[in-house]
Structure 1
Amino acid sequence: LEALEREDLSRVKLLWLNYPHMPTGTPAQAAVFQQLIAFARRHQILLVNDNPYSFILNDQPLSILSQEGAMEVAIELNSMSKSFNMAGWRIGSLCGRADYLDTVLKFKSNMDSGMFKPAQLAAVQALQLEGDWFEQLNAVYQARKMKAVGLLRSIGCTVADGQVGMFVWAKVPQQYKDGYAFSDEWLYETHVFLTPGGIFGTQGDAYVRLSLCSSEAVLEEAQRRIGAHQKVLD
């Protein structure tokens, strides 16, 4: 925010946020939201927080709209794709002050005319599930995460604790030029693909991302291939 304060913000209307953050897994924090709200009020900017990972491996889900003053300067998006395994159904929510939402709805009414009703009915049923749904879902993701973190650390990556969401973000060993070089080596040698962090911007050049959408069996096979290659090198 300090860097943004030094910029010409006179034409800026929207500031896009993504907490919990993808790809880094950084969780939402009330203090950060409060700073952003104050910033938005000073510059008359609308904050738009994309919050689809709020319930994935996250013990403390937090909406920006829970913070004082947020309704004046923020709206929030959420999605059933991640939290209810409904990827591709394109069902989500937009929350905020009525006049902000009316503007979006006017625009959307010119883009489409509604959604397939059975998909909507399925979403209604999903939203009625009890909390044990998330316990079961996160148990699956946690088991995958343990294997993913173990895999990444076995090849020299550094994985920060406290990440949430359905990916693991890892810093590559220093001897590699960047995440692209690291990813290429393991892809060519073992046919295991790690997403180079640079595709998300230059700040991610020294990182790779591993998805938890892969099953435990797939992660175990990746670890087996990597282990076999490491034995050859030894």
Structure 2
Amino acid sequence: MIAEAQRLQSVQEYYFSKKLQEIANMQTDIPIISLGIGSPDLQPAPEVIETLIKESQAGVNGYQSYRGLPEMRNAMAQFYLSKFEVEVNSNSEILPLIGSKEGIMHISMAFLNEGDKVLIPNPGYPTYTSVTELIQAEPLFYDLKGENNWLPDFEQLEKLAEQKPKIMWINYPHMPTGATASREVLGQLVAFAKRHQILIVNDNPYSFILNDHPTSILSIDGAKEVAIELNSLSKTFNIAGWRIGMVLGKEEFIHSILKVKSNMDSGMNYAIQKAAAKALEVSEEWYDNLTKIYAERRQIIYQICNKLNVKYDPNAVGMFIWAKLPEGIDDKSFIDEILYTKKVFITPGSIFGSNGEGYIRFSLCAPVEKLTEVLKRL
């Protein structure tokens, strides 16, 4: 018998991989409506599609540079300058990625040794934990709680820092809660990282969904010495399946990540890179229209929350609604009852960590018609 690697004993198949397969196998008399995963259902801008078609027909199909096309890197740099007031060198401080999820693995492999400690938010994106365990590093979970607006407790962080963590994952705007971090809080995080020589990685794909104040940690004075940032075009520009992400930071950090990336994958498709560069140049009207669509959907989700007697924060941002169940109700049992009786899938909060127990998460990636149908079924 050929046994799997021991490192796989610490991780399980991704929750959505299993749950979506279960849903696909269900025999139902009415279609199941999924409000679970954040997969944009809207179309990219017309000029982005036009560019993709045009460049696909140009016949450039060979392997591309691991660093990406210069025009795409330039567009990424200009995007950060215009949207975040962050100046980066497009030749040395940006590395395009085949999706930012890939970047979580590349960054971990670039900086972590077996046994290194990693600060991970609870609740937070499950991939931070699974990748840490695959690398055979050790997760150190730091609490994010509703009573503290889902922001770090710096007293707890100082105690955890005694274990000498090497990387700290942060994610603002935060998934799954929609919480935002002020410049003051980001400044505290940078100061904390400097005191303890920790590399902060801010995972920042939700800044332009229902958020009036997009912020990058790299806009904080001195952040480049201890911080890098992941970003993605998936959510903002409705191109999730295209797998276009990026990591930004000082040259030394980027070079280390490139060492891993260049040995694990190849350059992105030429036409997709050209179309991605076009996406980064869309007008302000694009962002305004996106906001209007998601705002309309959010109002119906609020009605669904009221119908289910769950509490939500109207100040939260991003493409999800995070809601608290009444005390004593198990989130996984609750969502399964809704799934099996109403044929509606909602994400249980506990998959994001112990501090997510008793919460549920709704995705805004469903048209008004489907959301209205959910309301009717309930």
Question: TM-score normalized by structure 2?
Answer: 0.58
Match runs of 1:179-198 below 5 Å: 179-198=331-350
2:240 aligns to what SS in structure 1?
coil
Separation in 1, partners of 2:310, 2:279: 37
2-side partners of 1:59 and 1:8: how far apart? 33
* Aligned residues of 1:148 and 1:210 also touching (Cα < 8 A): yes
Q: Distance in 1 between matches of 2:281 and 2:191?
A: 35
Partner of 1:76: 229
Superposition pairs of residues 159-174 of structure 1, within 5 angstroms: 159-174=312-327
Does structure 1 retain, via aligned residues, the 8 Å contact 2:164–2:196?
A: no
Q: Tell me which residue corresponds to 1:45.
A: 198
Structure 2 unaligned regions, length at least 5: 1-153
**CA-to-aligned-CA distance 1:42-79 (integer Å, 9 cap, x gap):** 11000000000011110000000111121111000110
Corresponding residue for 1:114?
Answer: 267
Q: Aligned-pair distance for 1:113?
A: 2.1
How many equivalent residue pairs?
A: 225
Superposed, 1:16-27 pairs within 5 Å as 16-27=169-180
Match of 1:99 in 2: 252
Q: CA deviation at 1:35?
A: 1.2
Of 121, 139, 162, the residue aligned with 2:292 is: 139
Q: CA RMSD in A?
A: 1.3
Contact 2:172/2:181 (CA < 8 Å) preserved in 1?
Answer: yes
Name whichever of 10-19 and 43-52 sits farther off: 10-19
Aligned partner of 2:246: which letter? S
1: CA distance, partners of 2:260 / 2:343: 45
Residue 54, structure 1, aligned to residue 182, structure 2: no
* Bigger mean CA offset, 37-46 vs 177-186: 177-186
Distance in 2 of aligned mates of 1:225 and 1:59:
33
1:139-166 deviation line (CA, Å, top 9, x unaligned): 1111111111111112101011211111
**How far is the alpha carbon of 1:31 from its aligned partner?**
1.6
In 2, the alpha carbon distance for the partners of 1:109 and 1:197 equals: 36
- Whether 2:185 is the aligned partner of 1:32: answer yes
In 1, the alpha carbon distance for the partners of 2:332 and 2:357 equals: 8
Q: What CA deviation, in whole Å up to 9, does each residue of 1:126-181 have, x standing for no partner?
A: 1111111111111111111111111111210101121111110000122x422123
> Partners in 1 of 2:225 and 2:372 — Cα distance?
48
Shift of the alpha carbon at 1:110? 0.8
Aligned twin of 2:157:
4
Could you tell which deviates more after superposition, 1-10 or 90-99?
A: 1-10
**Which secondary structure state, in structure 2, belongs to the residue aligned with residue 15 of structure 1?**
strand
Q: Which residue of structure 1 lines up, in the alignment, with residue 100 of structure 2?
A: none
- TM-score, length basis structure 1: 0.92
> Which structure would you say has the larger RCO, counting Cα contacts within 8 Å and 6 or more residues apart?
2
Identity between Structure 1 and Structure 2 (%): 50
Deviations 1:92-126 (A, max 9, x none): 22111111111111221111220000100110111
CA distance in 2, matches of 1:157, 1:7: 33
Distance 2:257 2:291 in 1: 33
CA-CA distance at 1:187 after TM superposition: 2.1
Following the alignment from structure 2 to structure 1, what is the Cα–Cα distance between the partners of residues 205 and 329?
Answer: 32
User: Of 234, 243, 265, which aligns to 1:90?
Assistant: 243
1:222 aligns with 2:369: no
The answer to whether the aligner puts 1:200 opposite 2:352 as a matched pair is yes
Displacement of 1:90 in angstroms is: 1.3
Contact 1:153–1:159 (Cα < 8 Å) also in 2? no
Partner of 1:6: helix, strand, or coil?
A: helix
Over 3 Å counting, the alpha-carbon distance change for 1:75 and 1:8 in structure 2 is closer
Separation (CA, whole Å) in 2 of partners of 1:209 and 1:6: 31
Structure 1: how far apart are the matches of 2:342 and 2:262?
49
| Shift, 1:9, TM fit | 4.1
The SS at the match of 1:82 is coil
Asked if 1:154 corresponds to 2:284, the answer is: no
